[in-house]
Structures are given as C-alpha cells and as structure tokens.
Amino acid sequence: MSKNSTGKDIWVLGDYRNYFKNRVTLQILARARALAAQTGGQVCGVVFGHDVDEYAREYIAHGADRVYVIDHPRLKSYGLETFTNLLTRLARDMKPDIILIGATRFGQEVAPRVAKQLNTGLTADCIDLDIDDKGLLVQIAPSFGGNLIARILTPKARPQMATVRPGTFHELPHDNTAQGEVVTLDLPEDLPSERVRCTHSEYRPAKALGIEKADIVITGGRGMGSKGKFKKLFDLAGLLNAEVGATRPVVHAGWVGHEALVGQAGKHIRPKVLFSFGISGAIQHTAALMDADFIVAVNKNPNATMMKLADVAIVADANQVCSGIIRALKEKIRD
Amino acid sequence: MENNTLDIIVCIKQVPMVSELPWNSKTGTLKRELAQGMMDPASRLALEAGLRLQRAGQSQDRRIRVTALTMGPPMAEEVLHQAVSLGADHGILLTDRKMAGADTNLTSFILGRYIRMFKPDTGLVLCGAQTSDSETAQVGPQLACELDFPAIGWASDIRLTQNALVVTRLVDDFMETLEMDLPGLVTIDLGAFVPRYAGLAGVAQAFASPKIDVVDADDLELDRNFNALEDSPTRILDVFSPATQKESRVLKGAAKTVVDQLFADYGKIISSAMGKDLKKK
Ligand SMILES: Cc1cc2nc3c(=O)[nH]c(=O)nc-3n(C[C@H](O)[C@H](O)[C@H](O)COP(=O)(O)OP(=O)(O)OC[C@H]3O[C@@H](n4cnc5c(N)ncnc54)[C@H](O)[C@@H]3O)c2cc1C
Ligand SMILES: Nc1ncnc2c1ncn2[C@@H]1O[C@H](COP(=O)(O)O)[C@@H](O)[C@H]1O
C-alpha cells in the first residue's frame, strides 16, 4: 500500500450511493480543506466500489488532494463488514490524523465500527469542526439535551473521528482544473465474508417534500398547543405557497409526520423566509436553519433563543398571529 | 444455541424525561437531579420487539427468554422493573462508580463484557437504534463489534425463522429485507412498533419480584484502575451556550397590530419570496 501519507492527513469516507441526492461527502471535503489549511495535512478521499473513477475525480474537483481507491467487482454494492474492514486496515496502515464520515445511515453504521476497531473516540453529528492551537480536532456538537454546545477533543487516541449530518457544511464549487492524485490500492485477499444477506432491496426515494428547497418554510413547535391548532400552519402554508416543518416534540406527539422534522435528526432548510411559531430554539433544531435569509419568530417568551435568532421577533400568541397572518393574506393576495 | 431455546438480551438505557434540563452554568453539567428518568423510547421498542418474539415462540413451543440489561446509576433499576412488568424474564443492572461517564466505546465494552462473561449463550441482542438523549446510534454497532456478532441497524420489523432472523428496514432511501444467522444483534428504529403498556398488577408484581440482579466492576473483573470517565478516548473541553446572532426587531401588542406592522415593514420581503404581489391595502 502506498505510503505517501504525512501523518497529518484528513480522510473523508466517500459515500457516493445515490450521488445526486447524497452530497454529504462533498460537503465534508469542503470543511476538511479548511481544517487542512490549519494543520498542514492533506485532504484524502477514500473510495471503495466498482467503476468508481468518476467519484475519485469528483472528490478531487471538490477539494481532495488525494483519493485512495479500491476498485473491484466484489465491492459493487455497499457491504458493511467489508467497508468497515477496509477502512480500518487502511487507517492502521497509513495512520490518518482525522477521519470524517457523513452521517447517512450507512455512514452511521460504518463510523462507530471503525472507531471501535481502532479503539478511538467518535463524536456523532458535529455541527462544526475546528483545529485548536495544539493542532487537535475540535469536535463541536450539541450537548446536554439542546441548550448547549460542547467542544470535544480526542487528546490521545488516533485517529480523531467525527460524523457530520448531511447539510451541515456547504460543498465547494466543482473545479475542473483541480489537481489531485488518485492512489489505487489492491483489494486484500482475506476479506471477511458478509454475515448479513440482503435478499431484497428496492430504491424507494422519500416523497419529495420540497421543504429543503422551499423559498418559504413555516415551522411550528410545542407552543402551537395541539395537533388541531398545528393544522392551521398548513392553511397558512397554502396561502404562502410554503412548506411546513416541525420540532421533535411535535413530531413525537404525532401532530405531523417525521418527514417534517427540521433539525439535526431531520431536514436542513435554507428558505428565503422562515416563519417560526412557538419554538424555543434548541440547538438541534436551529443548527439546521441558520441559512435562512430572513426569520420571523413568534413566541410568548421574548427571551426564547429562537427569538434572538430572528430578524423579526413577535412577542405574542402563536395561534393568534398565525390566524392574523392568514386573514391579512386573504385580503392582500391579488388573483 | 439449542433449537428450541433462545436467549435474548435487550439493552435499555434510562434517559432524562425532558430534553431541556436546567444546567449548572459554573460546571457546565446537567442538573440531573431535576430530571426524572424514563426508559429511552428506542430501547422501549427494542424491548417490544423482544417480547413479540417471546410471544411468537410460545405458539411454536419455543422457549424464548428475554433479559433486560442496563448500565447506569442505581436509579436505573427503575427501567428494569418496568421491563419486567412488561414481560421481560429478568433484569440486570450494571452499576459502579467506575462505570460513570462512559462514552459509547466504553459503554459497549462494559455491556459486551457482561454478556460474554455471564450470558455466553445469548442468541440475539436487541438495542434501540438511537437514544433520545444523545442520539449517537453508536452503542448498538459497537456492541456488535465487541461480541463479534453480525448486526443490522434501524430495523422496522423482525421475524424469527428456525435459526435465522429476517429483518426489514428503510435506510438511505432503500427498502431492504435482510437475513442473518444467529447469534446476532439488531437495533430497532423509532416507529417500528406500538409498544405495550403494563397493567398496574404487572407493575406491582415487578417491584415485588426478585428478578433484578445487580453487577459491579468487581463482578465484571474490570481492572483495578478502570475508570470509564478517564479511559474514554474523548474529552469535553468546554460547554457553551450558542451565541445569539441577530439584532432582532421586536414587535409586541395585539395580534392584529403586529401583523399589520409585519406587512407594512416587511411585506416586500415576504411577497418577493412568494413570487406574488401583495396589496398594500
Ligand atoms: C439528541 C437530540 C437530538 C434532537 N434533534 C432534534 C431535531 O432534529 N429537531 C428538533 O426540532 N429538535 C430536536 N431535539 C429536541 C430539541 O432539543 C428541543 O427539545 C426541541 O427542538 C424543542 O421543541 P419546541 O421548541 O417545539 O418545544 P419547547 O422547547 O417546549 O418550546 C416551546 C416554545 O413555545 C413557546 N410557547 C408556548 N406557548 C406559546 C404560545 N401560546 N404562543 C407562542 N409561543 C408559545 C414557549 O415559550 C417555548 O419557547 C433533539 C434533542 C436531542 C437530545
Ligand atoms: N447505558 C446503557 N445501558 C444499556 N443500553 C444502552 C446504554 N446506552 C445505550 N444503550 C443501548 O444502545 C442504544 C443506542 O444508544 P446510543 O448509541 O447512545 O444512541 C439504546 O437505545 C440502548 O438500546
């Protein structure tokens, strides 16, 4: 295996399945570039699969200095035990300083296993990553149930590992002129056999809700009061041509389906205008809406975090304001 | 594993009842004493999955024993009583000061060590896919590594055949049916089942019953110097409150007044996002 690693390298696991939807690898590569500028390491993609040249090139165009590739018919579909084994071995061999993995379901299955095999730490769902003055990776993640953010280090064990949810970082523009090295490695012969057999697999894309792309999003929280009252948000959404999102307690209470969840565990949104009704503004929720251009928040409590993040903070009852906006819009919309 | 008995272990975590607890601003730690504990919702579904297999086994003359396993402070015993009242055969509490502060790596190490030492014939381990208080989704996969079991995450349904398990799940937009020989581990996704409730009689009986065993660091023959907090590879450097970012314009008053104000001053922004003109009125 190739040994041109610097011992400071930042690896990003190439998760390319469902490529046009799943941009998380590109997003992380962008952040890894910024980290590498501070550590002096190189950004390396790691790709396992069959006929995966195009992904290797894509990763270089999006910020990787080098891409390690194992290309083999046996790797045609994602195999959990195989990918875990390969990544663990390569990491033992080449000792990257940092491994970052996108928190798709697949990434969430691979990352803890690799961390366990390497006996190192893993911080899930980082909302940001940084380098401290000693060159350590600062893993920034929500903590203690929502109001706080923790900065976490892995002082001794190596590599330092973190997962990042899709949508957390922004990919760099595709750069056709970017120079990078593709290092092709052989598939080891003594691969473990997959102990789980897939007998049926069907691509079933989630219904496009459009919330991730909508220009206007209306989110509602526990402060809406009840399932019945929450429904009013859909009336407003109809008038505004908007999509409806919700916080976790609301989803858990069954006021609305899980697909509406906005936050770390759900959708990242970037609307031009966001209306937020009866939401306190816990970090797991707000981490996914920081890209909104203009935020109107309605809350009885003027000190709620959500109100402080808003451009317009309306101190009032969420239901009454919602009804008020509906009434006003009905008058104002020209046909 | 004998053909007509199956030992199932369900890993259950006790989590705080509310997700937004007050915290001590000096130490940056949770005021946990204010939190009432409850069974982690995903663990609850893992238990439900185990109990359903147990019941299905009865009709097939198969003896399926369900053991609830938790690591936590002494008060975590409550979730074991609850598990027993719901139908689990036993509860095991792993508790010791030395185990406090374990990250997922050490949690899975301790759970795994117990299973290997005391329940080597375990055929199936069930976990929640992720806990409501941390949502790391790491303990299940890491426990599978610890036991060297094959594992399937985010199951929405599980079915037992003679010696294998058939699992359905929806992950990354793929609906999959998977098969795995036992022993193995499965994590159960939220929403997979509607969990059962225990009648009052069940609860009373569970608290009276001697079905809970308590296990400490010595029982697990952990190293004398073992200290989960010290030994965890990650360290919390500090904790802070997210900075507020904007100069907000605050509107107060009757609903009608604030709505009129909103449209008077920001109607343009709203109408341009809508792509529609709004009447000035
Ligand atoms: C590991 C983990 C992951 C999480 N992931 C997510 C996630 O992805 N998405 C998410 O949303 N949450 C997530 N959470 C939960 C999150 O921490 C918060 O608990 C949640 O976002 C709070 O929802 P809320 O604002 O609706 O409820 P609350 O925090 O209860 O806030 C309700 C708000 O409504 C206001 N209010 C009450 N009555 C009225 C009224 N009549 N009019 C106006 N305002 C009123 C109150 O002042 C309050 O500010 C997660 C938590 C954990 C621990
Ligand atoms: N302390 C613990 N004791 C028993 N089971 C646990 C513990 N922590 C986590 N688990 C199990 O692992 C699952 C996932 O937890 P987590 O990785 O923390 O999201 C939970 O739903 C439990 O089934």
pLDDT in tens, chain B (281 residues): 456 899 999 999 999 875 544 444 444 445 555 567 889 999 999 999 999 999 999 888 889 999 999 999 999 999 999 999 999 999 999 999 999 999 999 999 999 999 999 999 999 999 999 998 888 999 999 999 999 999 999 999 999 988 799 999 999 999 999 999 999 999 999 888 888 877 666 666 666 666 899 999 999 999 999 999 999 999 999 988 877 768 899 999 999 999 999 999 999 999 999 998 888 76
Q: Are A248 and A261 in contact (CB under 8 A)?
A: yes
* B153 falls within a domain: yes
pLDDT value, residue B206:
64
pLDDT value, residue A37:
97
Alpha helices in A261-308 (DSSP H): 283-286, 305-308
- In the stretch 115-154 of chain A, residues with CB closer than 8 A to chain B read 115-117, 119-125, 132, 138-139, 143-154
* B131 falls within a domain: yes
**Tokens 């795994």 label which residue?**
B112
All residues at 6 or more sequence positions from A152 whose CB lies less than 8 Å from its CB, including other chains: A121, A123, A138, A139, A140, A141, B234, B235, B236, B237
pLDDT value, residue B116:
98
Residues B193 and B272 in one domain: no
Residues B17 and B155 in one domain: yes
Residues B173 and B272 in one domain: no
- Tens of pLDDT, residues A31-47: 999 999 999 999 999 99
* B104 falls within a domain: yes
* B190 falls within a domain: yes
Q: How far is residue A17's CA from residue A23's CA, in Å, rounded to a whole number?
A: 10
pLDDT value, residue B194:
83
Ligand nearest to the CA of B125: 2
Q: Does A201 lie at the interface with B, CB-CB under 8 angstroms?
A: yes
Q: Does B114 lie at the interface with A, CB-CB under 8 angstroms?
A: no
Q: Are A97 and A39 in contact (CB under 8 A)?
A: yes
All residues at 6 or more sequence positions from B249 whose CB lies less than 8 Å from its CB, including other chains: A311, A312, A313, B265
Residues B22 and B68 in one domain: yes
DSSP state of A4: -
DSSP state of A262: B
Q: Is the CB of B110 under 6 A from ligand 2?
A: no
Does the beta-carbon distance from B236 to A315 stay under 8 Å? no
Residues B226 and B257 in one domain: no
* B50 falls within a domain: yes
Please give the tally of structural domains in chain B: 2
Question: What b/e string do you get for A66-86 counting C-beta neighbours within 10 Å, with b at 16 or more?
Answer: bbbbbbbeebeebbbbbbbbb
Residue A279 in this model has a pLDDT that exceeds 50: yes
Does the beta-carbon distance from B153 to A105 stay under 8 Å? yes
pLDDT value, residue B25:
41
Residue A299 in this model has a pLDDT that exceeds 80: yes
Question: Phi-psi bin for A279: left (phi > 0), alpha (psi -120 to 50), beta?
Answer: beta
For A302, the 3-state DSSP assignment is coil
- Tens of pLDDT, residues A170-226: 999 999 999 999 999 999 999 989 999 999 999 988 766 689 999 999 999 999 999
Question: Can you give the residue range of the structural domain that contains B29?
Answer: 5-231
Residue type at A64? Answer: A
| Selected residue of B132, B133, B274 to mutate for chain A interface (largest A Cβ count, 10 A) | B274
The complex's ipTM works out to 0.93
pLDDT value, residue B60:
84
Residues B127 and B187 in one domain: yes
Q: How far is residue A103's CA from residue A125's CA, in Å, rounded to a whole number?
A: 7
pLDDT value, residue B1:
45
Residue A110 in this model has a pLDDT that exceeds 50: yes
Nearest CB partner across the interface for A196, out of B18, B150, B245? B150
Residues B251 and B132 in one domain: no
Residue of B nearest to A280 (CA): B20
* B236 falls within a domain: no
Residues B198 and B250 in one domain: no
Q: Which atom of ligand 2 is nearest to the CA of B94?
A: 3
Instruction: Out of A2-16, A282-296, B154-168, B242-256, pick the least confident.
Output: A2-16
Structure tokens at A14: 């190439």
* B238 falls within a domain: no
Residues B106 and B225 in one domain: yes
Q: Is the CB of B37 under 6 A from ligand 2?
A: no
Nearest CB partner across the interface for B233, out of A121, A315, A317? A121
Residues B68 and B205 in one domain: yes
Q: Does A73 lie at the interface with B, CB-CB under 8 angstroms?
A: no
- Tens of pLDDT, residues A118-156: 999 999 999 999 999 999 999 999 986 667 899 999 999
DSSP per-residue codes, chain B: --TTEEEEEEE--EEESSSS--EETTTTEE-GGGPPEEE-HHHHHHHHHHHHHHHHHHHTT-EEEEEEEEESSGGGHHHHHHHHHHT-SEEEEE--GGGTT--HHHHHHHHHHHHHHH-TT--EEEEESS-TTT----HHHHHHHHHT--EEEEEEEEEE-SSEEEEEEEETTEEEEEEEESSEEEEE-TTS-------HHHHHHHHHS--EEEE-TTTTT--TT--HHHH-S-EEEEEEPPPP---PEEEES-HHHHHHHHHHHHHHHHHHHHTS-B---
* B125 falls within a domain: yes
CATH of the domain at B208: 3.40.50.620
pLDDT value, residue A145:
63
Residue type at A275? Answer: F
Residues B56 and B25 in one domain: yes
Q: Rounded to two decimals, what is the model's pTM?
A: 0.93
Residues B211 and B151 in one domain: yes
Q: Which atom of ligand 2 is nearest to the CA of B107?
A: 1
Q: What is the A248 CA–ligand 1 centroid distance (Å)?
A: 7
Q: Are strands B164-171 and B151-160 parallel, antiparallel or unpaired?
A: antiparallel
**Tokens 């789980």 label which residue?**
A196
Q: Which residues of A touch B170 (CB under 8 A)?
A: 204
Nearest CB partner across the interface for A105, out of B151, B154, B278? B154
Q: Which residues of A touch B269 (CB under 8 A)?
A: 272-273, 294
pLDDT value, residue A77:
92
